[in-house]
Chain A
Amino acid sequence: MTSATLFWLVLFGLSAALFFVTAAVITVVGVRDLKDLLRKTEMTK
């Protein structure tokens, strides 16, 4: 394994980790946002 391939594999690992961590945070906060959206819409009907 050369330093160039190691660089890309590490970059891939970091990018994939950032994707899955961000997705987990979005999911948790998004559930709250979704409830809020439906509640506010229900109130204005």
Chain B
Amino acid sequence: MRFQVVDWIILFLYLGLSVFVGLWVKKYVENMEGYFVAGRRVKIALGSATLIATEIGIVTFMYLGEIGYVTGFSCFVLGITGLIGFIVIGKTGFVISGLRRLKVMTIPEYYELRYSRGVRLIGGIVLFFAGVLNMGIFLRMDGIFLTETMGFSSDVLTPVMVIMLLIVISYTVLGGMFSVIVTDFLQFVILTFGMLTATVFVVLEVDLTSIADAVTQGMGEEGVNPFVNPKFGWTFIIWMLVASICTSALYQPVASKSFASENPEAGRKLFLVAGLTLAGRYMIPMFWGVAALALFGPDLSPTMAMPKLLGTVVPSGFLGLMIAGMLAASMSTYSAYMLAWSSVAARDIIPPLLCKEMGERTTMHTSRIISILIGIFILVFGLWYELPATAFQYIAITGAMYSAGAFGCVAFGLYWKKANIVGAYTSLILGAVAPLAFLVLSQIKNVIPESFHFLIDVNVSGFLSFLLAALGMIAGSLFTQRAYPPRHLQPQE
């Protein structure tokens, strides 16, 4: 058994520390602004740490490790496109500075300020369901990772994951964004140590020359040139670059960290600092995946290869530290997502449906109840629901359904004076059409004419969703300027 008593002690010390810190901080929550955006007093370094911790989870390591195992060094280009996206947002404040100036707590809140309550409700519903479904696969990925690295069956690990989730739910529900930010900071430090531990032992145990040889001999040019690799190519790389710039700041769990910052300048700069780490935090797990290819060869299940490598090369004692780091990465992601989606439901969906405003206390209690329900959903969906083979594709495309419409409504709303309510509805609907067509047509691709096959290319579908959302906003607004004159907003500071 790889995971020894000393590893268990380290793991439970970390979990105990998380409980203590998460619950200790709840005394600082005095009102709704404290609960949802930590009183908007977060400075750049703390905001960057919490943003990075949110973006790194076991599911991220698994996906990036898998792509490293399958595509070699070519996938490192994704670290470069992501870095460019964050740096552009960090330097220009694209979208995020405008939203922070308006002092919104959720992105759909902007829809009501700029368009109407109906747009807020539709945007909130799409965002909530796409976001919660997106979380569904996280716990399952955690389970696969822990099984391979710790060497236990799922019977032993299910209680560990249930305990982890209960801890996250308890401090997120009680302390809101305050608990999320403080525990994120602790988890950021521990996950960095975990990543450092894993990387050091991988480099010590797997020779760099053998890693290079495994890629060149096993994959040839495709392993080192992303432009000729069939999984990437020019269209995919350009699509990733566009998506990275357009949508990185439009995802509620990420944007909420900027909304909690002390001013719009800090809200912009934390993307710059987090961007400096982006290439590294993508390439490190990708490198683990490539090292797994060198150590085990190409015949393992791509999902299992990277965790199997870490379980093999990291010795007892350090393994406990690494697993604590990995759980820290996941817990910080769960807490941010849970708070983000419950705040969207409590602020953007339920009040418009009830046709009345809710008080601060009621909104916070509603958010807490929804957080618990999301936690139960993750547990049931992640541990006991058998995912179909195309689940990842399905979840990626539901993400595109939300982000294309959000890009149309927010970016045009902030930077184009003629954007109006008709344009917003058209953008939200058309942004969802191409991904929805992809989802349906890919199921019946054998019976559709050859001329429609371009619609089941995921890159084309992604491009189209953004193009249609933008065109929908422009055409919808221009044709209805007189009937629905646009609203203009004044920043609150």
Contacts and interface: CB of A to CB of B under 8 A. Distances in A.
Contacts of A16: 199, 280, 283-284, 287
A32 to B, nearest CB: 8
Contact of B39 (A12, A23, A33, A41): A41
B192 A23 contact: yes
A18 B45 contact: no
B194 to A, nearest CB: 12
B185 A30 contact: yes
B224 A8 contact: yes
Interface residues of B, number: 48
Contacts of B171: none
Contacts of A23: 52, 188, 192, 277
Contacts of B277: 18-19, 22-23
A36 B43 contact: yes
A2 B216 contact: yes
Contacts of B76: 8, 11-12
Contacts of B73: 4-5, 8-9
A34 B185 contact: yes
A45 B30 contact: yes
Interface stretch (B96-104, B207-215, B444-452): B207-215
Contact of B192 (A4, A5, A27, A37): A27
B385 to A, nearest CB: 34
B489 interface: no
Nearest to A23: B192
A36 B195 CA distance: 28
B279 A15 contact: yes
A32 B284 CA distance: 28
A6 B209 CA distance: 9
A43 to B, nearest CB: 11
Contacts of B287: 12, 16
A4 B224 contact: yes
Contacts, number: 117
A11 B347 CA distance: 44
A33 B42 contact: yes
Interface in B218-239: 224-225
B28 A20 contact: no
A20 to B, nearest CB: 6
Contact of A40 (B41, B46, B209): B41
Contact of B280 (A4, A9, A19): A19
Contacts of B25: 38
A20 B280 contact: yes
Nearest to B45: A29
A41 B28 contact: yes
Contacts of B328: none
Greatest chain A CB density within 10 A among B38, B41, B280 is at: B280
A37 B192 CA distance: 23
Interface in B37-56: 38-39, 41-49, 52
A18 B49 contact: no
A19 B55 CA distance: 14
Given A1-B212, A33-B47, 17 more contacts: A1-B209, A2-B212, A2-B224, A4-B224, A11-B76, A15-B282, A18-B277, A26-B45, A26-B49, A27-B188, A30-B45, A33-B42, A33-B43, A33-B45, A34-B46, A34-B182, A34-B185
15 contacts: A4-B225, A5-B73, A5-B216, A9-B208, A12-B76, A15-B279, A15-B284, A19-B280, A20-B196, A22-B280, A23-B277, A26-B45, A27-B192, A30-B48, A37-B38
Interface of A: 1-2, 4-9, 11-12, 15-20, 22-23, 25-27, 29-30, 32-34, 36-38, 40-42, 44-45
Interface of B: 25, 28, 30, 34, 38-39, 41-49, 52, 73, 76, 79, 178, 181-182, 185, 188-189, 192, 195-196, 199, 208-209, 211-213, 215-216, 224-225, 273, 276-277, 279-284, 287
